[in-house]
Amino acid sequence: MILRLKHTLLALAALLATALTGCINDDISTSADDQPTFSTDTVRLGTLFTQGPSPTHRFTVYNRSDKGINISHISFADDPNSIFRINVDGISGREFSNVEIRENDSIFVFVEATLPENGSNATVDVLAHIEFLTNGVTRRMPVKAYGRDVCRLKGDTRYASDMTLSTELPYQITDSLVVEEGARLTIPAGAELFFHDDARIVVHGSLSIEGTAEAPVSLTGDRFGYVAAKIPYEIMSGQWRGIEFTSTSTNNRIAFASIRNSANGLTLDRCPYSDATPALTIVNSQVRNTKGYVLQALHSSVVAAGCEFSDASMGIVGLVGGRHNFASCTFANYYLFTAIGGPAVWLDHLSADKTTLEGDDAALPYMQAEFTNSIIYGLGTELNHGDLKGTQVRLRRCLLKSAGSNDDEFTDCIWDADPMYFTVREDYHFDYRLRPTSPAIDAGFADLLSPLSTVDRYGTPRHSTPSLGAYEVAAE
């Protein structure tokens, strides 16, 4: 009985081995018709700073035939300066021979680049081709990149006296720009600043950003291209820390700037101010897409005109005490990646019964704030306080999402109306200008226009019947 069982087990094992080996076809095709196919038609590395390594990009090489194929040779055909690097199926090198892919199988190819300097501020196109020679047929995969020279600021860069940055090249900041007390850093029109992970600007003195409609200033993260298919880094928040104004920072001004994709946007912490000189004046600028607030001010003063404050996880603007004026501004929250944690505008320390502060801060003056000719509309609620009676907070001629009513604190407001932004959230398109049928067009009051913003940040003049929000619609 034991002997018979042993013979049975051996027979079963032989049958199983035959079945398993029979599933693998070791035949290699020699037909010119059997060629590899690719997961993309072009490897696009995007815009890269020269003399720095690119992120790694991957594509897949498939064998769709019912026999194995042997790729005789893989190499770059037109990369004499070794700008590009490849890794084929886990092995790095410049050239590869006899790479086999079994029937209906695939391999990965990884591509990187380090581009040489261009010698100018121009963006230079770089193109090479990876050649795959299979059964006498050569197929070429284009690899494209765009190179920009950059001025790299590494480690803490401190300015102890007045300094104006250059516009000859964009800047890449890998740590911090620190403006010491008593000094002023000026960022001129057309400047571009790209911040690495955890980099920031810390202002103990003063900051001036002097963009124009024709030459705005850009501050954003230093990642280009796509996180994944159809998801660009341009919509990813938290790429850098933001701009921090400390308790010695005074008389700051930002004009025609786009500040985006940070962790905390603009943060003011007990910055000194007076009736004539707010801690921060921000004009015709965009501050958007943050993990925290795009603007947070603690016992400070902000004057904003013609600004877009948009897309943040915590809520758009958080104000605690201080003195503030927002004219012709758009507050919009369609943040993409998490549930929104609070209302668009958070107001605290408004009056004795509308404060959460204790200790020394509770003894500071209550908030004074005015919002005029503005739009507060998006996902979530507008304000954390629906009743502002007894406070010094006023909203006049604002378009609001809620179905409320006017009173002494909400004057001439437009309630329960959609401003009809061009934003299409599911398509990752965030544009808070107004569609032609928007009820916010021509709905503003001319006497509420700020002299700081006679045009919007695109240069469109504000006319005698201005639109609500940051963006004007050109008169026909």
Return d(Cα 417, Cα 87) in angstroms, integer: 55
Residue ranges of domains in the chain? 37-147, 150-448
Classify residue 17 by its DSSP letter: H
Q: What is the average per-residue pLDDT within 307-323?
A: 97
What pLDDT, on a 0 to 100 scale, did the predictor assign at position 367? 97
Q: What is the average per-residue pLDDT within 177-202?
A: 97
* Residue tagged 């404060």 (tokens): 355
Q: Please tell me the pTM assigned to this model.
A: 0.88
- Residue 391 clears pLDDT 60, i.e. is over it: yes
**% of the chain exceeding 70 in pLDDT:** 94
What pLDDT, on a 0 to 100 scale, did the predictor assign at position 225? 76
Classify residue 194 by its DSSP letter: E
What pLDDT, on a 0 to 100 scale, did the predictor assign at position 17? 46
Give the contacts of 335 (CB within 8 A, at least 6 positions apart): 237, 289, 311, 312, 313, 379
What pLDDT, on a 0 to 100 scale, did the predictor assign at position 219? 98
Q: In the structure encoding, which two tokens stand for residue 32, read together?
A: 């010119």
Q: What is the average per-residue pLDDT within 382-396?
A: 96
67 CB-contact burial (10 Å; exposed 0-12 / middle 13-18 / buried 19+): middle
What pLDDT, on a 0 to 100 scale, did the predictor assign at position 378? 95
Q: In the structure encoding, which two tokens stand for residue 297, read together?
A: 């001010």
What pLDDT band is residue 121 in, cutting at 50, 70 and 90?
confident
**% of the chain exceeding 90 in pLDDT:** 84
Q: What is the average per-residue pLDDT within 145-150?
A: 95
- Residue 358 clears pLDDT 80, i.e. is over it: yes
CB 70 within 8 A of CB 28: yes
- Residue 229 clears pLDDT 80, i.e. is over it: no
- Residue 214 clears pLDDT 90, i.e. is over it: yes
What pLDDT, on a 0 to 100 scale, did the predictor assign at position 224? 82
What pLDDT, on a 0 to 100 scale, did the predictor assign at position 436? 96
* Residue tagged 């009985």 (tokens): 1
- Residue 152 clears pLDDT 50, i.e. is over it: yes
Q: What is the average per-residue pLDDT within 213-242?
A: 89
Q: Which residues pair with 179 in a beta bridge?
A: 159, 203
Burial code (b: 16+ CB inside 10 Å, e: under 16) for 205-233 equals bbbbbbbeeeebbbbbbbbbbbeeeeeeb
What pLDDT band is residue 6 in, cutting at 50, 70 and 90?
very low
What SS3 state is found at 329? coil
Classify residue 119 by its DSSP letter: S
Q: What is the average per-residue pLDDT within 1-30?
A: 54
- Residue 197 clears pLDDT 60, i.e. is over it: yes
Q: In the structure encoding, which two tokens stand for residue 435, read together?
A: 């569609």
What pLDDT, on a 0 to 100 scale, did the predictor assign at position 25? 59
What pLDDT, on a 0 to 100 scale, did the predictor assign at position 1? 43
Q: What is the average per-residue pLDDT within 207-213?
A: 98
Q: What is the average per-residue pLDDT within 433-451?
A: 97
Q: In the structure encoding, which two tokens stand for residue 340, read together?
A: 């929104």
Q: In the structure encoding, which two tokens stand for residue 339, read together?
A: 């549930």
- Torsions phi, psi for 420 (to 5 deg): 60, 65
What pLDDT, on a 0 to 100 scale, did the predictor assign at position 476? 61
Asked: is 37-147 a CATH 2.60.40.10 domain? The reply is yes
Give the contacts of 91 (CB within 8 A, at least 6 positions apart): none
What pLDDT band is residue 19 in, cutting at 50, 70 and 90?
very low
Q: What is the average per-residue pLDDT within 161-174?
A: 97
Q: What is the average per-residue pLDDT within 95-117?
A: 96
Give the chain's mean pLDDT.
92
- Residue 231 clears pLDDT 50, i.e. is over it: yes
